A and B are shown apart, each in its own frame.
Chain A
Amino acid sequence: MNDEKFRRLTTLYIEDAIEASDLELLNRELANSPDRVRQFNDLRLLTGLIKEHGQAGNSESITTTTPLPSPHTVPMTSQKELLELISDTPSETSQRTNVITFVVLAAAASLLIILSWLGIDSPQNTGTSPIATLAYASHASWETEERAVGHEFGKGKLNLEVGLARLDFRNGATITLQGPAEFEILTADKTILNSGILTASIPDSAVGFEVLTPAMDIVDRGTAFGVSVGADGETDVGVFEGEVEVSLTDSGDSPQLVREGNAVRSRPEANFIHTVNYSTERYENAWPVTSGVLQATGLMKFVSPGPEFVPGRYEDSERILVFPERSQVLLNSDLRVDVTEPGKYKRVRRRDRDVLAAGQMIRSYLLQLNPLGEFPRKEANEARVIGQITFDRPILGLIGGTSLLTKTDELLGHPLGEYGENRRGIEPSRSDDLPDSGRDDVTLSQDRRTLSLDLSASSAIDQIRVVVSEPQPETMSRLGSAKTSQSQIE
């Protein structure tokens, strides 16, 4: 193989565009030649160098359409200066040493903040700190005492007689209980559900979170799932995303892996865990709360959890579907959106679009009305669907235009979603519209938590992406250090 061909195959490999026969050739070439291994890694290192350092020096020349410097350049510069300190290059000056000292401290501080955000306790934080906070309650009645939103829980039992209650754990886990439920917190990552229903969303920071039941022990592997325990201890587990391990209580058996879209059932003292049909019906009250949607009224439906209920795979021609898409996305560059202010969503010119500033932690939802057949506009019998949705956190922005929806699919779309290439978005009213013009009406409430929709069905798919704020320590956004998504949206 000559150099030109080797470079071509290596590039195709790095681009994930290599064909099977060429991959075989590349395997052989690398197996037989240390020089080729070195050349292969030369290219990998170059791509790493571009990825790591290419943007800092090109914020003016490459990113000519972005007027503000990307905050991404801050950590990049920091790392470069750190490297200079470490490699002891001759270009160091005493003035720079001061800067570097600051950068080292800032970088170390930012990493500590990452740890804090990931829920990894430093020694100073262990001890008597509360483990979870009551983040939301709906018609909740507790057996022993009244508990208001904000109540902090340590170890101990909590019996929810009726209603819904969401507990946000310090390590990032979110649990919603549906009463009647007997629940106990043993440690920051170990709980017991003796009866009742819970839904859980466990981020990477809390992987290994355990829910013990009379029949099964459930260990999370970075996922979302539901558990239902009947009065007789019969336990059902349904996995919405990712996977969990289940084992019979006190059995000592090897755990069994349950993947998303699957469900299992067992009884106390049973010898087996059975696979059962995946059904999410019993979790449909608690799951939206776990996902950040406190209320959805009118013809608005929060989709069931599971891999089949994602954009492009699941449709409903009569209701506005609510798909949770992404969570814990740290904006690493400014994000263009169509609307950021409360009030009625009106059509804006491209140049008047707003931006969400980089450094914010966000999550996203897609609201969709996809009627079957075609409903030509201006017809008297045009289908209209009305609904209202309330989120647990402020809405930062709305995206309702086809091009911005498409541009934000990679950053904010559901990882399993199939968004297609059809025209989509909403047709908001214009300032010169007459009443009942038949356009889509979207209004963001003054407290930014409620969105009212009056959508008129047409041949296009009505879609609007809702960007909601995620909790984030103030200092983390200042340093720009957390789990990031780097797509730059213009």
Chain B
Amino acid sequence: MYFMDHSEILSILMPERTKQIALAWSILRQSHLSEDAYQDMLAKVLANDGNFEGPQHLRDWSWKVLRNRCYELIRRRKYQVTLLDESILNLVDAELECRDTSDVVLRADALNDCLEGLSEKARETIKMRYFEGLRGKQVAEKLGRKPEAVYKALQRIYVTLAECIERKLAALEKGASIS
């Protein structure tokens, strides 16, 4: 057991952030709730700065706290979300936790570039879903479309963005600049 100062904790947890935001988002499905869960986890980790055996212990603990916090938010707010079976959730979350995200900075740069390449309508959909906190049905209402059409559009957008990011990363490996 040794004391970690907060900047050390931060530097250990920051590479986990995108993965952990992804975890919270895919459980809670709402922007502000997932951000709240993440920040609650961070506060709890920092409040226990003297209780970690090392970086790995800190990482493991932060994932447990975040998952518990997400499910606690669901319980306390009593809202219904559809979740995979518990055993499957454990399986996929374990894989997510192990993912190497050392290239996340490059991916973020590529993502920004790829977002600019989307159609105006697609960008508007992403904006409403991710940054205005609207759920799929609300996005559909705002756009005057059926929810199914919005889900289909999001599916296409995800595929487009994923392919675009991979293309840009591959080009970068060959020496090109990200844009």
Q: Which of B1-29 contact A (CB under 8 A)?
A: 6-7, 10-11, 14-15, 17-23, 25-26, 29
Q: Are B6 and A108 in contact (CB under 8 A)?
A: yes
Contacts of B15 in A (CB 8 A): 83, 86-87
B42 at the interface (CB under 8 A from A): yes
Contacts of B99 in A (CB 8 A): 41, 45
Tell me which of B34, B135, B152 contacts A51 (CB under 8 A). Answer: B34
Contact with B along A89-111 (1 / 0, CB 8 A): 10000000000000011011001
Tell me which of A13, A38, A82, A204 contacts B14 (CB under 8 A). Answer: A82
Contacts of B112 in A (CB 8 A): 53-54, 56-58
> In the complex, A82→B18 CA distance in Å?
13
> In the complex, A83→B104 CA distance in Å?
8
Q: Are B39 and A484 in contact (CB under 8 A)?
A: yes
A148 at the interface (CB under 8 A from B): no
Q: Are B18 and A61 in contact (CB under 8 A)?
A: no
Contacts of B109 in A (CB 8 A): 57
Q: Are B43 and A114 in contact (CB under 8 A)?
A: yes
Tell me which of A62, A89, A108 contacts B126 (CB under 8 A). Answer: A62
Count how many chain A residues have C-beta atoms less than 8 Å from C-beta atoms of the other chain.
Answer: 76
A352 at the interface (CB under 8 A from B): no
> In the complex, A54→B32 CA distance in Å?
15
Q: Are A111 and B42 in contact (CB under 8 A)?
A: yes
A315 at the interface (CB under 8 A from B): no
Interface range for B: 35 or more
B171 at the interface (CB under 8 A from A): no
B40 at the interface (CB under 8 A from A): yes
User: Looking across the interface, which residue of chain A has its beta carbon closest to that of B8?
Assistant: A108
- From A25-33, A426-434, A457-465, A466-474, the one touching the partner chain is A25-33
A420 to chain B minimum Cβ distance, whole angstroms, is 14
Q: Are A204 and B40 in contact (CB under 8 A)?
A: yes
User: Looking across the interface, which residue of chain B has its beta carbon closest to that of A88?
Assistant: B102
Q: Are B155 and A8 in contact (CB under 8 A)?
A: yes
Tell me which of A17, A27, A62 contacts B147 (CB under 8 A). Answer: A17
Q: Are A487 and B32 in contact (CB under 8 A)?
A: yes
A415 at the interface (CB under 8 A from B): yes
A85 to chain B minimum Cβ distance, whole angstroms, is 8
Q: Are B116 and A61 in contact (CB under 8 A)?
A: yes
Contact with B along A38-79 (1 / 0, CB 8 A): 101111111111111111111001110000000000000001
A242 at the interface (CB under 8 A from B): yes
Q: List 29 A-B contacts (CB under 8 A).
A: A7-B159, A12-B151, A16-B29, A17-B151, A30-B84, A31-B87, A31-B91, A44-B23, A46-B165, A50-B115, A50-B130, A51-B25, A51-B31, A53-B112, A54-B112, A54-B130, A55-B130, A55-B131, A57-B109, A58-B127, A61-B116, A62-B131, A107-B10, A222-B76, A484-B39, A486-B35, A486-B131, A487-B32, A487-B132
Which residues of B come within 8 Å of A, CB atoms? 6-7, 10-11, 14-15, 17-23, 25-26, 29, 31-32, 34-36, 39-40, 42-43, 46-47, 76-78, 81-82, 84-85, 87-88, 91-92, 95-96, 99, 101-109, 111-113, 115-116, 123-124, 126-127, 130-137, 147, 151-152, 154-155, 158-159, 161-162, 165
The 6 closest A-B pairs by CB, nearest first: A57-B112, A48-B22, A487-B133, A53-B108, A485-B32, A11-B155
